[in-house]
Amino acid sequence: MPHSAEGPAYAGEVVAARKTKSGFEYDSSALDRVERRFWRECWEAAPAAVAAERGIALREFGPVQVTVVEALPEVGMMNLVLGATREGAIEAGHLEAACEWARSRGVASYVPVPPDLPSTTAAEGWLRANGFVPGYAWMKFVRDPHPPRFKAPDVEVVELDAGDEPFGAIAASGFGLPAWAGAFFAGLPGREGWRCYVARVDGTAQACAAMLLDGGVAEFGIAATLEPARGRGCQLALLHRRIADAAAAGCHTLFVETGERVEDRPAGSYRNILRAGFEEAYLRPNWTFRAPRPSQ
């Protein structure tokens, strides 16, 4: 698959202009476009030998993109069905085919459904009718490229070149994934459109983060910190650096997402994002398949 950006629009994209509470205008369809590329390129960057051994696969069904990892069947972040609200996804059977293929690979996929689009109700109706239920949601945040209004913590942030090793290992460990999962992320530094960083504490890389630049939009992601360095300001420092670098690159919209705030889950990432000047854009439920209980 090509590594270049997809351009400002593509078949099935609906321009979805929105405003935050402060009045910042953004296009949610552009965010979804960049997100598809973000995850697609993580899968493309995985070494072929690792992909074959761990069941790492990417497939497109019309406008629906599916990424799976058979070795991590219960990790929703690693098993995604994107594009449920795209034109033709339901009518032409693409969403059905995508979900069936993912299920045939033995994974429990997340099917994110953005709210308030023309096909949101239809997508939710199809999912509900086919045994899916809304699960843990992700909050999307956006901001303009104005300079950070908070002081960067006293943590060294370094941008990586291709082949720098700590990035993938830190990401896998920080996310609680097995060591081999670092292969998803190790190949991203130096890739076209990607900017990857580590934060150093006492001279040692202890946290990582990335952003993908595409058509004036910057997606922040792959932000992870090793346990010994948590609470030291690494992620705030990484946010500060990426905001400044995205602005210097001419981006007009910056976005990031993290899990919704609920009582039994930590919210440190959520607080850091708000502190960095991002605003809540919209909550996006992740629909998951609920297998029927066996008859007694």
Q: Residue 116 — very low, low, confident or very high, per pLDDT cuts 50/70/90?
A: confident
* Percentage with pLDDT > 70 across the chain: 92
For 202-253, how does the pLDDT look when each residue is reduced to its tens digit (9 = 90+)? 999 999 999 999 999 999 999 999 999 999 999 999 999 999 999 999 999 9
pLDDT at 8: 39
Which range of residues forms the domain containing residue 102? 24-138+285-289
Does the structure show a pLDDT above 80 at 74? yes
**Mean of the pLDDT values across residues 138-162?**
94
pLDDT at 215: 95
Flag whether 279 is in a domain.
Answer: no
Does the structure show a pLDDT above 60 at 82? yes
Q: Considering the chain, what is the average pLDDT of its residues? A: 90
Flag whether 157 is in a domain.
Answer: yes
pLDDT at 25: 96
CA distances from 212 to 34, 39, 42, 152, 274 (A): 8, 10, 11, 21, 20
Whether residues 49 and 134 fall in one domain: yes
Does the structure show a pLDDT above 60 at 2? no
Flag whether 171 is in a domain.
Answer: yes
Contact by Cβ (8 Å): 218, 254: yes
> Which range (6-20, 147-161, 165-179, 209-223) has the least confidence?
6-20
The secondary element (H helix, E strand) that includes residue 143 is strand 138-143
For 199-209, how does the pLDDT look when each residue is reduced to its tens digit (9 = 90+)? 999 999 999 99
Flag whether 278 is in a domain.
Answer: no
The CATH number assigned to the domain holding 172 equals 3.40.630.30
Whether residues 116 and 84 fall in one domain: yes
Flag whether 266 is in a domain.
Answer: no
Whether residues 125 and 159 fall in one domain: no
User: CA-CA distance, 295 to 14, in Å (whole number)?
Assistant: 43
pLDDT at 262: 80
pLDDT at 5: 31
Q: Which pair of structure tokens corresponds to residue 183?
A: 């292969």
Among 32, 26, 60, 6, smallest CA distance to 284 is for: 32
Residue with token string 């998951």: 288
Does the structure show a pLDDT above 60 at 111? yes
When divided into structural domains, the chain yields a total of 2
Q: Residue 291 — very low, low, confident or very high, per pLDDT cuts 50/70/90?
A: low
- Of 219 and 266, the structure prediction assigns the larger pLDDT to 219
pLDDT at 266: 64
Flag whether 294 is in a domain.
Answer: no
Q: Residue 11 — very low, low, confident or very high, per pLDDT cuts 50/70/90?
A: very low
Whether residues 193 and 226 fall in one domain: yes
**Mean of the pLDDT values across residues 62-91?**
96
Q: In the Cβ-directed half-sphere of 280, how many Cα atoms lie within 13 Å?
A: 10
